[in-house]
Amino acid sequence: QKEVEQDPGPLSVPEGAIVSLNCTYSNSAFQYFMWYRQYSRKGPELLMYTYSSGNKEDGRFTAQVDKSSKYISLFIRDSQPSDSATYLCAMWGRDDKIIFGKGTRLHILP
């Protein structure tokens, strides 16, 4: 079983819709959870960072962590064409590295 599973998509939604992106993980040692956004030919850009189970909101973005189910989500409200990108979940355990999911390609249709 892979450490971090993420559906690669592509996921296409109309502008203004709510987007739901998800990752599952197998390693219960993961304690810190991140969502990065990556535009084509650019580096990953940090969007959200959470530690505990529950919700964290920042503008149109909400990150949700359920450690008991080993499941994390990112919700994007009022999606915009500029949100079209690849979204990477990432997790950090007790060793000195972050593990990434494969990324979900998101297309927001005008």
Residues that bind another protein (CB under 8 A): 31-32, 34, 36, 41-46, 49, 51, 88, 90, 92, 95-103
In order, the DSSP letters of the chain are --SEE-----EEEETT--EEEEEEE--TT--EEEEEEE-TTS--EEEEEE-SSEEEEETTEEEEEETTTTEEEEEESS--GGG-EEEEEEEE-SSS-EEE---EEEEEE-
Nearest distance, CB of residue 100 and another protein, angstroms: 4
Q: Which two tokens stand for residue 103?
A: 């990324």
Nearest distance, CB of residue 16 and another protein, angstroms: 29
- Would you say 50 or 73 has its CB closer to another protein? 50
- Would you say 79 or 106 has its CB closer to another protein? 106
Nearest distance, CB of residue 76 and another protein, angstroms: 19
Nearest distance, CB of residue 34 and another protein, angstroms: 5
- Would you say 82 or 96 has its CB closer to another protein? 96
- Would you say 2 or 77 has its CB closer to another protein? 2
CA 71 – CA 73 distance, rounded (Å): 7
